[in-house]
Amino acid sequence: MKKTFLNLLKQPITNSYLTKIDKKTKSKEFFYNLQVVYDSKTHLVSLSKPVNPKMQFTDKYAHRASQSITMLKAFKKVSQNLKKRFKPNKTMEIGSNDGVFLKNFNKKEIIAVEPCLNLAMITKKMGYLTYPNFWTKSLAKKIFKKYKGIDLIYSANTICHIPNLKEVFDAVSFSLNSDGVFVFEDPYIGSVLKMNSYDQFYDEHVHLFSLLSISKLLKKSNLRIFDVQLLSTHGGSIRFYVCKKFSKFNCSKRVFKLKSKEIKFGLNKYKTYLMFAKRVKKSKKDLLKLLKNIKSKRKKIISYGASYKSATIYNYCNIGTDLIDYAIDTTKNKQGKFTPGKHIPIKAPNGGIKKNVDYAFLGAWNFIKEIKKKEKNFLRRGGKFICHVPKVKLIGL
Ligand code: DWN
């Protein structure tokens, strides 16, 4: 049974950065109600009504995974580890974005699946065979005809974007060799509850996974988890190592340990999620109080990173240009545009935070270490970051 625990109000599609904000463009902007549910049967946390993926993963997809040094390093490390541990001959990536993972592989060893046409074009130009499609059973059949079974399927920050998980897992099960491995990682619901990072809920994050929920769902597709890892990336992610039901892999102790930890933490109880929802309401109140207080002193606040996540905060808390002057972002195709819903202008950082800025809200709080290193001068002159996780606070030198 699915029960709603969180209402994040009217939200736009996070990838819909506006090129202008005249009356016509504003009237065409699409909004939906962002409500989050807990399924007591599967323990899965999902959006109550996912948006149509064709409206999200278009040929104008803005996010580029290669924008942060942290992620470049993380993808290099995981590709090296996977090659060493599983020695795959044939690898496939689902959701290859701008090739941040692919580029660690020889062009003949890996194929890619990426539904956003503009991104698929990037990796095609790099020389990687890329299917510009959504991951479905019919695509899996098409690929199987040509390549037969796959040894390793990898996916980062993609599986949680797909509404129909049964179809995803069935297609994986169909494509894998008998001892093939499916490794995927996505933001972890345990970290979201701990960090109060409610901004991990937006149209693209249709589900937030736990070990408890994914173990249950995989069974229906004759798959099982044999290893698991908690990661620090994106403010707390979970990496699952999955194989076919009768494959050679023994289940690692880490799986049993994390399962009992999740039960102790209450990830299988509706009450846990209701308590989280209360903390979210308080976070909104605290953030608005802090921003309004700073603004009353005539100080300048900007946003650091026009992330998809930050759209949830701005729209839920009703934060617009009255509080935040503009956002800076290194992603070229976001620059010169406006954030979805609240229409905050996005600028290029051009060498970092400007001297007349007093505070920078961390829209990309998940890269705080990298950002603090880059913005030493801002901190040295007394500038402060505003962060909403785990509690609303100021961060200085
Ligand atoms: O799953 C998803 C994640 C992985 O990426 C997608 N659904 C969409 C996207 O979400 P996001 O925008 O919340 O992700 P990031 O990677 O946390 O976004 C950070 C933003 O900040 C990027 O636009 C790049 C920007 N940035 C910057 O301007 N300066 C980042 C760093 C590290 C910087 O120094």
Nearest residue (by CA) to ligand 1, atom 5, is 63
The residue written with tokens 């890996």 in the block is 110
The one-character DSSP state at 252 is P
pTM of the model: 0.97
**Two tokens, residue 308:** 């998809």
pLDDT score, position 316? 98
366 lines ligand 1 (CB under 6 A): yes
Give me the pLDDT at residue 299, please: 98
Ligand 1 close to Cβ of residue 330 (< 6 A): yes
At residue 43, the pLDDT reads 98
Element (H, E) at 23: helix 23-28
**Ligand 1 mean position to 227 CA, how many Å?**
28
Closest CA to 310 of 235, 207, 377, 210: 235
Residue 95, burial from CB neighbour count under 10 angstroms (0-12, 13-18, 19+): buried
207 lines ligand 1 (CB under 6 A): no
Under 8 Å between Cβ of 222 and 245:
yes
The one-letter amino acid at 255: V
| Sequence-ordered strand ranges (E) for the chain | 2-12, 31-39, 45-47, 91-94, 110-113, 129-131, 150-156, 176-187, 207-208, 223-231, 237-244, 301-304, 327-328, 346-347, 359-362, 384-387, 393-395
Would you state the structure tokens that stand for residue 182, as one six-digit string? 């499916």
pLDDT recorded at residue 73: 97
Q: Is 63 in the pocket of ligand 1 (CB under 6 A)?
A: yes
Write down the pLDDT at residue 340: 98
Distance 376 CA to ligand 1 centre (A): 20
Ligand 1 centroid distance, CA of 223 (Å): 31
- In sequence order, what are the residues at sequence separation of 6 or more whose Cβ sits closer than 8 angstroms to the Cβ of residue 94? 113, 135, 153, 154, 155, 158, 159, 184
Separation of 307 CA from ligand 1 center, angstroms?
A: 5
Scan for tokens 């930050």, then name that residue: 310
Asked if residue 75 has its Cβ within 6 Å of ligand 1, the reply is no
**Residue 176: half-sphere exposure toward Cβ, Cα within 13 Å:** 25
95 lines ligand 1 (CB under 6 A): no
pLDDT of residue 25: 92
Q: Give distance in angstroms: CA of 119 to centre of ligand 1.
A: 16
Alpha-carbon span 304 to 365, nearest angstrom: 8
| CA nearest ligand 1 atom 26, residue | 305
Q: How much is the pLDDT for 352?
A: 95
Specify the pairing of strand 91-94 against strand 393-395.
Answer: unpaired
Residue closest by Cα to atom 15 of ligand 1: 307
Cα 168 to Cα 361: distance, rounded to the nearest angstrom? 36
Relative to beta strand 129-131, strand 31-39 is unpaired
The CA 136 to ligand 1 mean position distance, Å, reads 26
Residues 6 or more apart from 295 whose CB is under 8 A from it? 301, 322, 323
Q: What are phi and psi of 53, to 5 degrees?
A: -55, -25
Choose among 365, 321, 363: nearest CA to 342.
321
Q: Please choose, from the candidates 97, 82, 101, 211, the residue with its C-alpha nearest in 3D space to the C-alpha of residue 151.
A: 82
Query: For a substitution probing ligand 1, which of 308, 366, 387 has the most ligand atoms within 8 Å of its CB?
Result: 308
Query: Cα of 115 to ligand 1 centre, how many Å?
Result: 19
Atom of ligand 1 nearest to the CA of 65: 16
> Which residue lies with its CA nearest to atom 28 of ligand 1?
329
- Beta pairing, strands 384-387 & 393-395: antiparallel
pLDDT for the residue 87: 98
CA dist 71 and 305 (Å) reads: 15
Q: Give dist(CA 377, CA 352) in Å, integer.
A: 9
What the block records as the tokens of 275 is 């308590």
Phi, psi of 391 (to 5 degrees): -135, 155
**Residue 305, ligand 1, Cβ within 6 A:** yes
What is the C-alpha to C-alpha distance for residues 19 and 263, in angstroms, rounded to an integer?
46
Task: Write out the chain's pLDDT in tens, 397 residues.
Answer: 999 999 999 999 999 999 999 999 999 999 999 999 999 999 999 999 999 999 999 999 999 999 999 999 999 999 999 999 999 999 999 999 999 999 999 999 999 999 999 999 999 999 999 999 999 999 999 999 999 999 999 999 999 999 999 999 999 999 999 999 999 999 999 999 999 999 999 999 999 999 999 999 999 999 999 999 999 999 999 999 999 999 999 999 999 999 999 999 999 999 999 999 999 999 999 999 999 999 999 999 999 999 999 999 999 999 999 999 999 999 999 999 999 999 999 999 999 999 999 999 999 999 999 999 999 999 999 999 999 999 999 999 9
- The pLDDT, as a whole number, for residue 334 is 98
Which atom of ligand 1 is nearest to 367's Cα?
32
Which atom of ligand 1 has the smallest separation from the CA of 366? 17
Q: Which of 330, 334, 378, 387 to mutate to test the pocket of ligand 1 (most atoms within 8 A of CB)?
A: 330
